Amino acid sequence: MQARLPELPKYAIPGLADLPVVGPALFTLHPMVYLTVVLVIVMIWFLYRTRAGLVLRAVGESPASAHALGYPVRRIRLMAVMFGGAMCGLAGAYISTVYTPLWVEGMVSGRGWIALALTTFATWRPARVLLGAYLFGGVTMLQFHLQATGVQLPSQVLSMLPYLATIVVLVLISRNPTWIRANMPASLGKPFYPGS
């Protein structure tokens, strides 16, 4: 008698998942997918509609000016980095418990570099980050779909599709470095010393 693998849980929004074409594509996804959309909406609201978001953007643009107004620049930067780290931890937890429900050596396989490329692609805008993440995720899923349909290409070629898409997008974006510099935070990567 063969041992049966445990069946993965099915996620479906009742009623909406039964819609033709749209139902299976949009309403049978893991709850984390919907959480990402909610998080992006909350981040857009926070960054562009609240005073704290304005202060955070001011710290990114001109920490000296924010400091002159009395804001604790280092603490704000630390909190922003902690939030980013928490989001990375959430992504890592998703990869190791849902996407690949077991620990496998190299399971991240360079996705962090894709995430860095994604911020450049999105020019530090939350809605563009979501769009880019779904674009790169779609390319990854295309790789699996092509392998499942039996496309006669080596698996190594199909496995490199997400990275190739990342390189192509970065090459296209880098054709206009002025646009990237105009959209990135002015003080990105620059240390701030309150006494100077």
Cα separation of 67 and 72, whole Å?
Answer: 6
pLDDT of residue 5: 46
Per-domain residue ranges for the chain?
109-196
Per-residue pLDDT band for 78 (boundaries 50, 70, 90) equals: very high
CB 133 within 8 A of CB 162: no
State the pTM of this model: 0.81
What's the mean per-residue pLDDT of the chain? 85
Q: What residues have CB less than 8 Å from 113, skipping those under 6 apart? A: 163, 166
Distance of CA 103 to the CA centre of its chain: 21
pLDDT at 8 over 70: no
Q: What confidence tens digit (pLDDT) does each residue in 130-146 have?
A: 888 888 888 888 887 78
For the cut 60, the answer to whether the pLDDT of residue 1 exceeds it is no
pLDDT band at 58 (very low <50, low <70, confident <90, very high): very high
For tokens 């937890």, what's the residue?
93
Say how far residue 101 (Cα) sits from the centre of its chain: 20
* Cα(122)–Cα(173) distance, integer angstroms: 10
| Mean pLDDT computed over 40-61 | 95
- In this prediction, residue 3 has a pLDDT band, given cuts at 50, 70 and 90, of low
